[in-house]
Structure 1
């Protein structure tokens, strides 16, 4: 062995541990504010993968909220094309926002990977609110909708649709509801607790921790059945025939290769079967709604049709 050969071998051996450290982190877009639903949907699965050794290269998460997630989607489409290591969290909100905002980019531009969870919604009021039931809230909306601001996520998202369906079921004009959109859950909770909002609609997983702290009260949930650990009736029990939830999932970059798609589908399939993921579902009050690959792509096509019909029915789009 020549000196040069020995030298090169020594250099390679020395660099091998460094190469193991300098792994390629996942490039992750969360199209909403820190602490919100999109953010958790992006970070929690990767945290579980890290804990279980499924994917340990780390992640770089970018939060870019606004317009129901379409601003983050546009940046993801623009910057992540062909990157097998780039993924983005999505949800029911984004499907409606694309339709409402007539977004030039859509979910047709990305690579469907998995639907992971479904998050029941809830209607909350300030802790000291005189509203004890949803009927109290709808009575106030009927009397003076302008003086009864209701907060939630972006215009056209699942929270807005819930508010519109709630109003419609109560015999009110959905277009007269004073709906106040927020890009992040923390900002909305602050406004609700401070009395700037009379009510708020969001995912139960976002609202319940604050209800447990006594900062707000949940007066109804949007699920079919009552939910464990929540002392509140369903909207149907409250006399309003409304059932709606917010599913969330993950898509890959535009032009993701078949190899990259399979890589991520394998990772999520392994993650889904772990006890750590089941614990994460319980901790975040999420319902397991796993759907992968082509089945998820078909579901997204159905969602576009369903949400277009809903938005038309409540007068949000023509």
Structure 2
């Protein structure tokens, strides 16, 4: 089944962010593989870290089979915290995730902590001595990554000294300046700084080691901590889109992820291969929402 002649991707933020990257990944790869005949325009609808876009699709375009909207693990986190108002995981149809980034725990290059075990042991002994910085406010993805480390040390996330910063750049600056002892971030933004020796990544929050610049960095699991953080990149569409239209999208993405054009677009954006399509993706979203809800409850949200 072919996709509609005119397609559109909705990015729930300003140009240049993660939603934009997700839409551009799909638009460029689908066109390069001729799975769409015309360029796919990207429409920007900022507000509420995707909440405005989510409500727009659910409330005003629930039957529009030509539209997909970008989503991420952050969307599941916000759904878990009920940040989308009355909308929930059942308000849309989850199409596919086609890329992923992974959480990392990072310290200053001169830090005495060489492994995640070293860090967790020191944190457990004296939690008040550790300021942990991340690119986002309390309750954000970076805060949640930090909370997982606090939990691994047997400490409550409620008492964590978390410093909310404006993205990965300020986290790096704060680490290098000694203003924080630990940083939480994403592999894609931290890997080149690790390779350059500016910071030291202690662990990647992935099921297996990552390729490329981070091949030398062990996972949290390897170091004895059952801690993963996958920031998947994917898409949803309207709840009332027909099965035929929905299947057109899932079949197109199933074909796309097997192509070299997809791999090239993924690499260009610093993302890693990951596919969850149709029912598999819906199951992933539901699992994440429940997992994040437990974390949020434990943290007192």
TM-score under structure 2 normalisation?
0.79
- Deviations 1:2-39, CA, capped at 9 Å, x for gaps: xxxxxxxxxxxxxxxxxxxxx7451422x356544333
Partner SS for 1:256:
coil
Partner SS for 1:223:
coil
Query: Which residue in 2 is equivalent to 1:315?
Result: 299
- Deviations 1:69-122, CA, capped at 9 Å, x for gaps: 434423443453332222112222221222224532223111211122333221
Tell me how far 1:168 sits from its aligned partner: 0.9
Partner SS for 1:83:
coil
Query: Which residue in 2 is equivalent to 1:111?
Result: 93
How many residue pairs get matched?
288
Within a 5 Å distance, the mapping from 1:1-318 to structure 2 comes to 24-29=6-11, 31-32=12-13, 34-55=15-36, 56-62=38-44, 64=46, 66-67=48-49, 69-104=50-85, 105-126=87-108, 132-134=114-116, 137-138=119-120, 139=122, 143=126, 145=128, 148-153=131-136, 155-181=138-164, 187-195=166-174, 197-212=180-195, 216-229=199-212, 230=214, 231-284=216-269, 286-312=271-297, 314-317=298-301
Distance in 2, matches of 1:137 and 1:112, equals 38
Tell me how far 1:261 sits from its aligned partner: 1.7
Partner SS for 2:208:
coil
Assess if the C-alpha contact under 8 Å between 2:9 and 2:70 holds in 1. Answer: no
Tell me how far 1:123 sits from its aligned partner: 1.4
Assess if the C-alpha contact under 8 Å between 2:92 and 2:237 holds in 1. Answer: yes
Tell me how far 1:151 sits from its aligned partner: 0.5
More helix by share: 1
Mark the runs of 5 or more structure 2 residues left unpaired by the alignment.
none
Query: Which residue in 2 is equivalent to 1:19?
Result: none
Distance in 2, matches of 1:179 and 1:53, equals 47
1:83–1:150: structure 2 CA closer, same or farther, 3 Å change rule? Answer: same
Structure 1 range deviating more: 195-204 or 129-138: 129-138
1:179–1:42: structure 2 CA closer, same or farther, 3 Å change rule? Answer: farther
> Of the two, which has the highest radius of gyration?
1
1:237–1:89: structure 2 CA closer, same or farther, 3 Å change rule? Answer: same
Distance in 2, matches of 1:35 and 1:203, equals 16
**What is the RMSD computed on CA atoms of the aligned residues?**
3.2
Partner SS for 1:232:
coil
Assess if the C-alpha contact under 8 Å between 2:68 and 2:236 holds in 1. Answer: yes
